[in-house]
Amino acid sequence: MSSSQRSMESVKEVVSALRGTTSFVEKMEFYDSWAPNYDQDLVVLGYNMPSHVAESVSSRFRGDRGSALVLDVACGSGLVAEEMKRDGFTRFVGVDGNEAMLQEAQRKQLYRDLKQCILGDEPLPVPEGSCDVVVMCGALSADNVGVQVLRRLWVACRPGGLVCMTHRHSPENQDYRASLEEELRTMEDQGLWTRETVTQVERWFTAQETRGEEGGDHGGVQETRGEEGGDHGGSVYLYRKL
């Protein structure tokens, strides 16, 4: 079934299945099968975090956007690069752990280079201090990439450059969020970077679905709910490397 035919409910089932994977191998196998439908499924869910990342970076970027090198970590199919291109950025290097997702990104012809890397476990495959902007959207969570990746993002960024990251405020991420924000503060206290902005996003997924009688006074339409993230917001963190 093509993703254009997939219902909200079927896409939510896909996301729930992903969160049910436990090992790295299982996750990679899952993304192998999901990659062809990934973009359109996220449209169904109303996933707009890439646009929040692009907006956050654009609001504080200094310099020539056309010549700036952007490292897109956990780039997936290239959704962040698509948004940043609209704001004038043109030079992208993408890094992801899944080959099938990198193939989807390659089809968009946005990246100068695409590299496969096990995020958090391996050094990022770029020279230290080579990137004007480093972004990581959607991967900082308890079931994905550990907080140790923050220092790898910092290493890749040039002094004066920007590092932008997102994190979802779901119940299973409460302990992770505490560790994440502790590490962000520690790195700031150590003089590694300074906080530019933290943007709170009300909903991680914003699409609406039609419900039956449960809709009541809402006319049968309300935001997506449950594990798939309708009621959970998130943060967009923006730091400048010192």
For the chain, what percent of residues have pLDDT higher than 70?
88
Would you say residue 225 has pLDDT above 90? Answer: no
pLDDT for the residue numbered 19: 81
| Alpha-carbon torsion (52, 54, 58, 61), positive or negative | positive
How many Cα neighbours within 13 Å face the side chain of 223?
16
pLDDT of 32 higher than 90: yes
CATH numbers and ranges of domains, the chain: 3-208+222-241 (3.40.50.150)
The answer, yes or no, to whether residue 189 has pLDDT greater than 60, is: yes
Average of per-residue pLDDT across 173-186: 97
The answer to whether 193 and 35 are in contact (CB under 8 A) is: no
**What is the model's pTM?**
0.88
Tell me what pLDDT residue 180 has: 98
The predicted model gives 140-154 an average pLDDT of 95
State the angle between helix axes of 8-19 and 24-34 in degrees (0 to 180), rounded to the nearest 10: 160
Cα–Cα distance between 21 and 24 in angstroms, integer?
A: 8
pLDDT of residue 122 exceeding 90, the answer is no
Instruction: Tell me the mean pLDDT in the region 64-68.
Output: 98
For residue 40, pLDDT beyond 50: yes
The predicted pLDDT at position 211 comes to 41
Average pLDDT over residues 187-191: 98
**Amino acid in position 124:** L
Least confident of 75-84, 151-160, 210-219: 210-219
For residue 3, pLDDT over 70 is answered with: no
pLDDT of res. 210: 40
Residue 151 clears pLDDT 90, i.e. is over it: yes
Of the listed ranges 153-162, 189-198, 218-227, the one predicted with least confidence: 218-227
d(CA 147, CA 136): 12
- Rounded average pLDDT over 87-94: 98
pLDDT, residue 62, reads 93
Kindly tell me if the per-residue pLDDT of 221 is higher than 70.
no
53, 82, 85, 165 from 48: Cα distances, Å: 9, 12, 15, 14
